[in-house]
Copies of this chain bind each other. A is one copy, B any other.
Amino acid sequence: MKKPDSPTSKSIAAALGVSVATISRVLTRPDLVNERTRERVLRGIERLGYRPNLAARDLRRGQTGTILVLAPLLGSFWLEILYGVEKAADERGFSVLLANTRADQNREKAYLDLVASHRADGIILITAALPVGGKSFALSLPPVVLAAEPLPSSELPAVLVDHAGGAEEAVRHLINLGHRRIAHIAGPDSVISAGARMSGYRKALRAARLPVDESLIQRGFFSLESGTIAMHALLRQRRVPTAVFCANDLMAIGAIQALKSVGLRVPTDVSIVGFDDEMLAQIYDPPLTTVHIPRFDTGYQAMMILADLVAQKRPVRSITLPTRLVVRGTSVAPQNRRAAP
């Protein structure tokens, strides 16, 4: 029985007749090593299957090469952001720790501590609604970058999305189609981006000199059911809207289902526009007109900023990414009912 212990720099050094310092240099600053020794060491490492112990390296360097992605829940929406983070992390030589806080403050705190505990160098916070532990948080702040969703009154660097602009474009699209009575199914007040989407809706209406009818604004919770309920409420109005702009795709689909359930057709009777452009939007029947959010890019940029932050490179700025309207099958010009037989 031999020792099945994995080789260390020391054992490799001994086997090759060089010092551990040389092993280390070959791996981290190869330019400082004579080419022939370097080759020899490299071959030895390969042959003996040596892998540097990153725990030791981390300890010595005081860094981990790992970042933490913290999300309150992990829907398919956030998943794509994660892809982007991963891609960038890969390029910058970081590993990605993933943690799901399930919107629990305690869990969140615990995960934030991972940075203080030297398990990660920084954090990408993908969150909505949930403020992070108040002021005490801001004090001993680890490197944090916000992704996709702003936090109230926070100076943290962030990669944001132009929710208001996207909403405005969506509603303008409806207006250009000829709609005059356009409703809005909004997201919860607690979510900042939901507010931004609503203000975009209002702005587009005002820009077209259309009245903003508050009874045409219903609030939902981003769930399919809440979209259905909101739509039914809209249907009870004296004059039913000819189009509805929904704050996300799921509620848009809920609205469509409500419409179908009372025998109204989309888009013939009512046009619907969603927000987010989830996979769902493309696949649904009819395919949903919606506002695309550059999720992958959001994650990618956030990771890049975080990497700079950790390396204390350039001064960090926040950036806002544009959205893009994707016109599919749920938005058409309003049909003049009286023209029908």
Contacts and interface: CB of A to CB of B under 8 A. Distances in A.
Nearest to A260: B285
B285 A54 contact: no
A56 interface: yes
A257 interface: yes
B53 A118 contact: yes
A2 to B, nearest CB: 14
A164 to B, nearest CB: 28
How extensive is the interface on chain A, given as a class?
A: 35 or more
Contacts of A51: 113, 116-118
A216 to B, nearest CB: 25
A340 to B, nearest CB: 24
A55 interface: yes
Contact of A54 (B118, B253, B284): B118
A270 B43 CA distance: 63
Given A54-B119, A69-B98, A83-B100, 4 more contacts: A74-B82, A96-B98, A98-B98, A280-B280
A56 B54 contact: no
A66 B97 contact: yes
Given A74-B79, A74-B82, A283-B280, A53 B117 contact: yes
Nearest to A53: B118
Contact of A117 (B54, B107, B117): B54
Nearest to A65: B119
A33 B117 CA distance: 23
A235 interface: no
Nearest to A100: B86
Contacts of A140: 49
Contact of A55 (B55, B86, B107, B285): B55
A64 B116 CA distance: 16
A95 to B, nearest CB: 6
B53 A55 contact: no
Nearest to A62: B55
Give the 10 A-B residue pairs with the shortest CB-CB distance, closest first.
Answer: A55-B58, A51-B116, A55-B59, A98-B98, A76-B76, A51-B117, A54-B117, A54-B119, A55-B118, A53-B118
Contacts of A49: 116, 140
15 contacts: A54-B119, A55-B58, A55-B64, A69-B98, A76-B76, A76-B79, A82-B98, A86-B99, A86-B100, A95-B119, A97-B97, A253-B283, A280-B280, A283-B284, A284-B284
A83 B118 CA distance: 24
Contacts of A79: 74-76, 79
Interface string A180-199: 00000000000000000000
Interface string A85-129: 010001000011111100000010000011011110000000000
Nearest to A285: B285
